[in-house]
Structure 1
Amino acid sequence: MTEKTEKQKMLAAEAYFPSNKQLQADRMNAKTICHHFNQLPPNQFKQGMKVLKELFGRTQSFWIEPQFYCDYGYNIYLGKQFYANHGCVILDGAPVTIGDDVMLAPGVLISTATHPLEAEKRNKGIETAHAITIGNSVWIGMGAKILPGVTIGDNAVIAAGAVVNKSVAANTLVAGVPARLIKLL
Structure 2
Amino acid sequence: MDDVAAADEPRLRELLAEDEDVRALFAGEWIRYRASQTLPALTWEAQSACARINRIFFDDPDEAQRLFAELVPGAGSGIDSRPPINLDYGIGLTIGDRTFINKDFLVVGGGRVTIGPDCLIGPRCSIYTPNHAEDVERRRAGWERASAVTIGAGVWLGGSVTILPGVTIGDDAIIGAGSVVTRDIPAGVLAVGNPCRVVRKIAGV
Task: Provide the TM-score with structure 2 as the length reference.
Answer: 0.85
Task: Give the deviation of 1:110 after TM superposition.
Answer: 0.7
Structure 1 range deviating more: 98-107 or 58-67: 58-67
2:53 alignment counterpart? 37
Structure 1 range deviating more: 162-171 or 83-92: 83-92
Whole-angstrom CA distance in 2 between matches of 1:99 and 1:41: 24
Whole-angstrom CA distance in 1 between matches of 2:142 and 2:176: 33
Tell whether the 8 Å contact from 1:49 to 1:64 is kept in structure 2 after alignment: no
Tell whether the 8 Å contact from 2:89 to 2:110 is kept in structure 1 after alignment: yes
The correspondence of residues 91-170 of structure 1 with structure 2, limited to 5 A, is 91-170=108-187
The correspondence of residues 48-127 of structure 1 with structure 2, limited to 5 A, is 48-61=64-77, 62-127=79-144
Tell whether the 8 Å contact from 1:161 to 1:176 is kept in structure 2 after alignment: yes
Whole-angstrom CA distance in 2 between matches of 1:121 and 1:162: 30
Task: Give the deviation of 1:92 after TM superposition.
Answer: 4.4
RMSD: 1.2
Whole-angstrom CA distance in 2 between matches of 1:75 and 1:106: 22
**Does the residue aligned with 1:31 lie in a helix, a strand or coil?**
helix
Task: Sort the Cα spacing of 1:161 and 1:37 in 2 relative to 1 into closer, same or farther, 3 A.
Answer: same
Task: Give the deviation of 1:47 after TM superposition.
Answer: 2.7
Amino acid in structure 1 at the alignment position of 2:69 = K
Amino acid in structure 1 at the alignment position of 2:40 = Q
Amino acid in structure 1 at the alignment position of 2:158 = G
Whole-angstrom CA distance in 2 between matches of 1:57 and 1:126: 28
Amino acid in structure 1 at the alignment position of 2:38 = Q
Unaligned runs of 5+ in 1: none
Task: Provide the TM-score with structure 1 as the length reference.
Answer: 0.94
Tell whether the 8 Å contact from 2:57 to 2:64 is kept in structure 1 after alignment: no
**Does the residue aligned with 1:110 lie in a helix, a strand or coil?**
strand
Whole-angstrom CA distance in 1 between matches of 2:86 and 2:163: 15
Task: Give the deviation of 1:34 after TM superposition.
Answer: 0.4
Tell whether the 8 Å contact from 2:57 to 2:83 is kept in structure 1 after alignment: no
Amino acid in structure 2 at the alignment position of 1:70 = L
Same amino acid, percent of matched pairs? 32
Whole-angstrom CA distance in 2 between matches of 1:41 and 1:5: 35
Whole-angstrom CA distance in 1 between matches of 2:84 and 2:197: 29
Whole-angstrom CA distance in 2 between matches of 1:81 and 1:181: 26
Unaligned runs of 5+ in 2: 1-18
Whole-angstrom CA distance in 2 between matches of 1:180 and 1:98: 20
Task: Give the deviation of 1:172 after TM superposition.
Answer: 0.5
Structure 2 residue corresponding to 1:10, chosen from 10, 25, 31 = 25
